[in-house]
Structure 1
Amino acid sequence: MSKKNKWKNRDGVVYSTNDDFEYSYQGEEEADTLSPDEQNLRVELDKKARGGKQVTLISGFIGSQDDLKDLGKMLKSKCGVGGSAKDGEILIQGDFRAKVADILRSEGYRVKQIRG
């Protein structure tokens, strides 16, 4: 049974005796998501540190984590494969560079396809 212990992330915290005190985490503020025509996305093939497996890497997305995940979900479903979306990058399992670039262009994104 896994239990999340949020208190472990509170390094250097001075505790308050105020009953109404609510601790706030100092995380990065999410950037506003740019419109598709303002985005400059790079689509490339990546094999590094993946046990020889190929993935299509989409990088350069500027926006919220939720919008990144939504875009990743749409790309994964249109390609019919798995993948992930985190840290400003989308990984699509397999070599789908051309298909992903076409899908992104049809959605209005500016895409640079990197040959590799």
Structure 2
Amino acid sequence: MDLSDQLKNLFPDHEVPEEPQEEQSNIWLQDDPLECRFEKRKGKVNTVIAGYTGATEDFKILAKEIKTTLGVGGSFKNDQIIVQGDFRERIMEILKEKGFKVKRVGG
């Protein structure tokens, strides 16, 4: 018997409110896949995401979500998300969960 069953026995008239559903972000999903590639810039390893055809503001929001989730630095320049480090696999998983098609470019 878990805690919720015990509470139901103690308070039979109490109704449990439904859990709020997670908010879906209003990011525009596109038909063409995003490109996720590995680059070295000035001797440092970076992951670059390019190919988004939606609004720039949506892409900036997506960049912030990716950087926050991974806990790394990065930037948004020239319609590309640049993330510090080689996080291609994890970024591709995050984008697929959000409903994007992702194409791995390069090694």
TM-score by length of 2: 0.70
Q: Distance in 2 between matches of 1:51 and 1:88?
A: 20
Aligned to 1:46: 39
Question: Does structure 1 residue 76 correspond to structure 2 residue 99?
Answer: no
Shift of 1:38: 2.3
Shift of 1:51: 1.5
Point out 4+ residue stretches in structure 1 off by more than 6 angstroms: none
Larger radius of gyration: 2
SS in 2 for 1:104: helix
One-letter amino acid matched to 1:71 = L
CA deviations on 1:22-75 (whole Å, 9 max, x unpaired) are xxxxxxxxxxxx83252420101011xx22001000010112221111010001
RMSD: 1.8
Could you tell me which runs of 5 or more consecutive residues in structure 2 were left unpaired when the two chains were aligned.
Answer: 1-26
Aligned to 1:36: 29
One-letter amino acid matched to 1:77 = T
SS in 2 for 1:100: helix
Q: Distance in 2 between matches of 1:51 and 1:111?
A: 26
CA contact (8 A) 1:37 1:108 kept: no
One-letter amino acid matched to 1:56 = T
Could you tell me which runs of 5 or more consecutive residues in structure 1 were left unpaired when the two chains were aligned.
Answer: 1-33
Query: Once the two structures are aligned, what percentage of the paired residues are identical?
Result: 40
TM-score by length of 1: 0.65
SS in 2 for 1:76: helix
Aligned to 2:50: 59
CA contact (8 A) 2:49 2:81 kept: yes
**Structure with higher strand content:** 2
Aligned to 1:100: 91
Aligned length: 82
